[in-house]
Chains A and B, each alone.
Chain A
Amino acid sequence: MKKQAILALEDGKVFKGYSFGAEGETAGEVVFNTSMTGYQEILTDPSYKGQMVCMTYPLIGNYGVNKEDVESRQPYVEGFIVKESSRIYSNWRAATDLGSYLKKYKIVGIEGIDTRSLTKHLRERGAKKGVISTKDLNPVSLVKKAKRSPGLVGRDLIKEVMCKKPYTWNKKGKFHVVAIDSGIKLNILRNLEKRNCRVTVVPATATKEAILKYKPDGLFLSNGPGDPKALPYIVDTVKGLIGKMPVFGICLGHQILALAFGGKTFKMKFGHHGGNQPVIDVHSKRVEITAQNHGFAVDMNSISKKEMVLTHVNLNDRTCEGMEHKKLPVFSVQHHPEAAPGPHDATHHFDRFIEMMRKRKK
């Protein structure tokens, strides 16, 4: 018989299921992701630090886990919530099954719960702090623990996911990019590599001066977990670099850029986590289906009077999905053009960044 597990939310909602992956107890903000494929990329996306992910698609683990489809060194989610984890895996690239993989990295999971009910709950009441436990099966005590857990607001999680020392990705590249690593996804680096970039990845704590010393052709601001407002040091660094080289930001990088221009960010009710978000380019009026993973967003009104202009809008809820500088080669997007997981519709943003660096080099 399977071992029992419980998921308890801070508002008292409790789901009883079964243990899968590692046993133990874990806490984090519970969010749902609507992608039907790509659980391995989701698990290893550093932006999920501090969060437990509920997959809305009920059948997870079907194709196992392979060596290639990772977005970082290890899984970063705090916990993993599914309806049914597959007993076997079937795919020619698979190396192991999901349960064993989670066990190896000590990620506590729960299966066999009504994930749709949980999703609706989060949609209606917003993202909630929660605890998954296989040790403590007392709902009352678990709810208390959930309430006491730290949550995301105002919390700096970057230091737990960033690289500790600078390193170079693709030594032979032509364009030299410095990427500020707040939890960068590997597919961003792969995309830059594909476009002939040499990337120096630096910790998010790197100073303006340290970055300038690399004499980069362009600056990249990465994705990452948590609340951008908790990261004034990165904002300051970025402020000092604007105007000195082309700048491209993704997700958290986009939010940091907004803050650097004096804008505001806010916490969304339950965020965007999935691979089907429609984003319209306000100039071309073309729609792209994008991969997204963010719980905070840029308040466009807060910077509309500044130098930045809106370039992309989410068609579902009209939130800001992209902006650019009126004059300078500076732009950013809230969604993930590197996908992984998700559709490739927006990869052209990388081309734009390259184009900016090429112009500047001339």
Chain B
Amino acid sequence: MPKRTDIHKILIIGSGPIIIGQACEFDYSGTQACKALREEGYEVVLINSNPATIMTDPQTAERTYIEPITVEYLEKIIKAERPDAVLPTLGGQTGLNTAVKAAEAGLFKKYGVQMIGVNLEAIKKGENRELFKKAMQKIGIGLPQSGLAHTLAEAKSVLKKIGLPVVVRPSFTLGGTGGGIANTKEEFEKMAAYGIQLSMTHEILIEESIFGWKEFELEVMRDKKDNVVIICSIENFDPMGVHTGDSITVAPIQTLTDVEYQKMRDAAIACIREIGVETGGSNIQFALNPKNGCMVIIEMNPRVSRSSALASKATGFPIAKIAAKLAVGYTLDEIPNDITKKTPASFEPMIDYCVVKIPRFAFEKFPGADTTLTTQMKSVGEVMAIGRTFKEALQKGLRGLEVKAAGFESKKATGDLKEHLKRPNAERLYYLKRAIEEGMNLKEIHKLTFIDPWFLENLKEIVEFERELRELAAGIFKLSFRGRSPRNLIKSCDEISRPAKIHGGPRDDARDWTASLTSFARNDISRALRRAKELGFSDAQLGEIFGKSEIEMRAYRKKLGILPTYKLVDTCAAEFEAFTPYYYSTYEMEDEVKTTSKKKIMILGGGPNRIGQGIEFDYCCCHASFALKEIGFETIMVNCNPETVSTDYDTSDRLYFEPVTFEDVMNIVEKEKPDGVIVQFGGQTPLNLALSLYQAGVPIIGTSPQAIDRAEDRKKFAEVLRNLGLKQPENGTAVTLAEALKEANRIGYPVLVRPSYVLGGRAMEIVYDEPSLINYMQKMAVDVSKDRPILVDKFLEGATEIDVDMIADGETYVVAGVMEHIEQAGIHSGDSACCLPPHNLAESVIQEIKKQTAALAKELNVVGLMNVQFAVKNGVVYVLEVNPRASRTVPFVSKAIGVPLAKLASKVMAGKKLKELGFMKEIIPSYRSVKEVVLPFVRFRGVDILLGPEMKSTGEVMGIADDFGTAFAKAQEAANSSLPLKGTIFLSVKDKDKRAVLAIAKELSKMKFSLVATAGTAKVIEAAGIRVRSLKRISEGSPNVVDLMKEKKIDLVINTPAGEKPRKDEIVIRSFAVSRGIPCVTTMEGALASLKGIQALKIKDTSICSIQDYHKRLKDMSFRAKREISSTVTRL
């Protein structure tokens, strides 16, 4: 059946900001869907508040609304655009929930909008626990014993029936927020109460615990003729009890027989039919009792998901794209398989490799957070690796994770072994290795972890082979010193168990360090190294074992002819010819890469998402690829993050799904011999490789690695500033405590301290006095060395921070955007809200900043993008930091000014001039764009939510309006902390802020808000004659602010920290507010901005405008400006 012709305009709901559990996978699926629908001639209207997405690029849809994803805004958009249909299954849980709310509010009926892909009933059946249970019982699929509860009393009675331990799952929440396993009655009651409150429908499911069972997932697709196919099967390495997003997962399923797999397949098909997902993809999870094969269904998501993005990358089957086509009426057999071209999409992909996904965590950012992995997702990103064996894929994944592990290691496993095996945690894999190394038998490990013996055996094989390698290395060491005969080589191994002493063995400078060995011994080494590569060992790991550097190891391996081969991901296990160049490396016989003689440029991606490096950089990498294709280059993408658009097989001409490490990148460079390599778009990951790649002769284009080094190296950078006569805060470096104290005294407290070369402000702190500095230095002692000293900077208290993005080609220097931060300097730029153009800054200061930016770009010879951070205090401009690369703000600025900066920059890097590209002058929009960040504190209960120099946010949103207040209010709403228009506001500020708070209180009172405050703050407000209710401290009993929050009587919390060490009370207040979803402002600047926002909302209802219309306004503006100039010229 052909596509539907009764609909023309389709509204797609995006997923909003990146949060834990909802990351760039929805940019990937959303972008695919938009492309697919437009290919079919439909007009696409999009709502998404996240500016850092390819999806919200003005070219992706006809009409793009960067507005809060709420029913209110949805109605405004529907009213303006009158779409025929809405497709809600591509925007994650956010998109689905918003669609449900809108449908229930009668919005779609009112405007005659059809929901396609899925209907309301199916969503409810899939997501409502009770309905789901009934549906599954109807078709005879087993479920864990369970009961529903809406109150704590109900919960307790359900518990009586089932008995501990139980799993608590709130209905309609994302990534299992609020869920968990309760082992004790106390835990249960706490969890139940929290879950009821978090659930959109105030409902929780209490379930028999099947902790330790095997966990599986199937990705299923259905078309309107009821054809159903399974795209991918996934087995979790971590058994039940760990959220699948936090589990290491493997595709395809490894330990099920065909009989069991087909039973699961049948159940999945029956499930999608019974739930009634009309068309598109669903993710269905199963658990299996390893003792008897008893299978139960856990849940189903009637939409594309994180797992479906993973499944798409794991198989080459583009689930979201096909889902979009099915939604408009096509059937699976009518859609061709992109990869084989000749066969249809109505088949089940078969893979001939093993895929491993490993989550990436950020616990180090949230001291005090519980690091136990539970049914509530906590990871912030993931890496996927492909190998011909599980062992190879696992090791590739581990080195791609960028957690300072070159593969499967145990260095970090220094804690209690059994405790870390028993309790699922982010580092369990390292403890598994240690356990095997220490000789713990696999049965015992299985007893502690419930991890399937098959996986454990594979881990053991890696450990055993590493031992063999170490014995061999020790043998060589002995051999080269004692001149033993080669036949003794193997024998002598038995005598030496730990070869750690080999460092300082044979001289490192000799390239062929085996020259003194006989050919027999060298053959042994050659064979061992090949086997090691087949098992996924990296050159760095092998170097460590043989006492060589990574580079020496690599050179030797190459000399032996041990080179990677690249294989295709082709959906069909080589049964048909594949036309899509999507590659992974392995050590096999045949290489399948077809290189060309065209001019080509390679782009290095950013690896796994983490706090500080996320979707913004992937956005830039994609743009680089698009832009370079436009000007005739062939593009090659290297990345290992399955959630991204960059790893979509049709983003670049060739995709290498590989870890972004020196070894893996060099291998591809040598294979492809690119004319240029771009390292400045993928964030810190490729940037950290820049110098070593450059030294290895890789043609890095754009700003030179030396210039990057000049900006990053403290000493060299100070010299740059001195040359230019620019100011920077007083600073110094220290290796020892004594040095640190000396420097701090010279500079004067407060000082900002941090380790060198960090990302996202890792371990950065503001220190106000000597004891705190001593404390900090002790904490950091391990990581400090002469090459990596602690940096000590004067902290400019109360300064305004400014971010500037610039693009340069060596001739022309154009300011892309000046962003004034809302929060004061000292809060990481990635965590503060900002406004473009500046809303408070004096024109003279702005001019000075632009002048300084241009001077820096010239001095550093920037070709491409550059970001500079300034602080302004008392009218004086200080340079805080220069990053001669794409910054986090590039997509935001691009959308604000209507210019694709990353595209321009990549063309400039490839040799074009800004003049020929037509971008010569800064664009200053007449409207205001506000960026606001989204923080993950709700996932880390009890952790203080205060912002500081260490970045903690996971994502961002954008609010656009003609005035600052409205833009700010929109951004707040999009970030899920809507400003109240009425109700009660709680105020509690430090002494310094008491005067400022008075002005705010006055205005709020004028707008009829009731005010409550802690005694100190209340006193000041009352003294000014404003009505305020004074509350007790929490320790003094009721009524205190927490009581009021519990009763839902507080609508906004304004609470600035009392000193550098927050009081216990404050932490309780702030984290309680977050857990209840009450907006909480922790800076005076934020409070002032909020006030402006509230005032704006009070004056008039907000309006909407598409990004395309905003950009048209900019064009009209510049056209008018040009006309004015030309008319002036004529008059002259």
Task: Given contacts A57-B350, A276-B350, A278-B344, list 4 more A-B pairs with CB under 8 A.
Answer: A91-B255, A123-B575, A274-B575, A278-B346
A280 to B227, CA, bound (A): 10
Q: How far is the CA of A63 from the CA of B352 in the complex (A)?
A: 18
Q: Are B389 and A119 in contact (CB under 8 A)?
A: no
Question: Contact: B257 with A287, CB < 8 Å?
Answer: no
Q: How far is the CB of B986 from chain A (nearest CB, A)?
A: 56
Closest residue of chain B to A58, judged by CB? B388
Is the CB of B1000 closer than 8 A to any CB of chain A? no
Interface-facing stretch out of A29-37, A206-214, A223-231, A293-301:
A29-37
> In the docked arrangement, what's the CA distance between A340 and B257, Å?
10
Complex interface: stretch among A108-116, A197-205, A243-251, A260-268: A108-116
Report Cα–Cα, A58/B256, bound state, in Å: 15
A15 within 8 A of B: yes
List A residues 88-112 near B (Cβ within 8 Å).
Answer: 88-93
State the CA gap A174–B413 with chains docked (Å): 65
Contact with B along A318-362 (1 / 0, CB 8 A): 000000000000000000000111111000000000000000000
Partner of A277, one of B233, B347, B452: B347
CB-CB < 8 A to B590: which residues of A? 114, 116-117, 120
| Chain A residues at the B interface, C-beta cutoff of 8 Å | 15, 32, 34-38, 40-41, 56-59, 62-63, 66, 68-69, 83-84, 86-93, 113-117, 119-120, 123, 274-278, 280, 285-287, 289, 315-316, 339-344
Known: A58-B352, A90-B454. A117 touches B225 (CB 8 A): no
CB pair B252–A123 under 8 Å, yes or no, is no
Q: Are A56 and B573 in contact (CB under 8 A)?
A: yes
- The segment from B61-69, B103-111, B287-295, B884-892 found at the interface with A is B287-295
Assembled-state Cα–Cα distance A285/B344 (Å): 14
Residues of A near B574 (CB, < 8 A) are: 32, 56, 116, 119-120, 123
Partner of B461 from A87, A89, A91, A340 at Cβ < 8 Å: A87
A90 touching B589 by the CB < 8 A rule?
Answer: no
Q: How many angstroms between the C-alpha atoms of A278 and B333 in the bound complex?
A: 9
Q: Are B347 and A83 in contact (CB under 8 A)?
A: no
A289 in contact with B229 (CB, 8 Å): yes
Q: Which of B84-92, B258-266, B643-651, B1067-1075 contacts A (4 or more CB under 8 A)?
A: B258-266
Q: Is the interface of A mostly helix, strand, loop or mixed?
A: loop
Q: Would you call A117 and B454 a contact (CB within 8 A)?
A: no
Which residue in A36, A114, A285 is a CB contact (below 8 Å) of B589?
A114
Binding site for A on B (CB under 8 A): 225-227, 229, 233, 252-259, 261-262, 265-266, 290-293, 331-333, 342-344, 346-354, 388-390, 452-454, 457, 461, 567, 572-577, 588-590, 592
A88–B454 contact, CB under 8 A?
yes
A64 to B577, CA, bound (A): 32
State how many angstroms separate the Cβ of B215 from the closest Cβ of chain A: 15
Contacts of B333 in A (CB 8 A): 278, 280, 285, 287, 315
Instruction: Report the nearest A residue to B587, measured CB to CB.
Output: A114
On whether the beta carbons of A90 and B452 are closer than 8 Å, the reply is yes
| C-alpha spacing A285/B293, complex, angstroms | 36
Contact B588 A69 (CB under 8 A): no
B346 with A287: CB separation less than 8 A: yes
Q: Which residues of chain B are near A34, meaning CB under 8 Å?
A: 350, 352, 572-573, 575
Shortest beta-carbon distance from B1107 to chain A in Å:
40
Chain B: minimal CB distance from A297 (Å): 16
The minimal Cβ–Cβ distance linking B12 to chain A, given in whole angstroms, is: 27
B348 touches A276 (CB 8 A): yes
* B348, B390, B577: the one within 8 Å of A59 (CB): B390
Nearest CB of B to A45, in Å: 12
Contact call B588/A289, Cβ cutoff below 8 A: no
In whole angstroms, how far apart are the Cα atoms of A336 and B655 in the complex?
37
CB pair B262–A344 under 8 Å, yes or no, is yes
A316 to B342, CA, bound (A): 7
What is the CA–CA distance of A16 and B573 in the complex, to the nearest angstrom? 21
A62 to B293, CA, bound (A): 16
In the complex, residue of chain B having the shortest beta-carbon distance to the beta carbon of A37:
B258
Select B262's contact among A15, A66, A285, A339, beta carbons within 8 Å: A339
Q: Which 7 A-B pairs have the closest CB atoms?
A: A38-B258, A341-B258, A114-B589, A117-B590, A56-B573, A90-B454, A276-B348
In the assembled complex, how far is the CB of residue B304 from the closest CB belonging to chain A, in whole angstroms? Answer: 21
- Known: A58-B354, A120-B574, A287-B332. Is A36-B252 also a contact (CB below 8 A)? yes
A37, A115, A286, A340: which contacts B352 (Cβ < 8 A)? A115
Given contacts A59-B254, A88-B457, A113-B589, contact A93 B293 (CB under 8 A): yes
Question: Considering residues A119, A278, A341, A342, which has the most beta carbons from chain B within 10 angstroms of its beta carbon?
Answer: A278
Cα separation A114 to B575 with both chains bound (whole Å): 15
- Inter-subunit contact A340/B258 (CB<8 Å): yes
A–B complex contacts, Cβ < 8 Å, 12 sampled = A40-B258, A56-B350, A90-B255, A115-B352, A116-B352, A117-B590, A275-B258, A286-B225, A287-B225, A287-B331, A287-B346, A315-B346
Interchain CB contact under 8 A, B258 and A316: no
- List, in ascending order, chain A residues with CB within 8 A of B573's CB: 32, 34, 56-57, 116, 119, 274
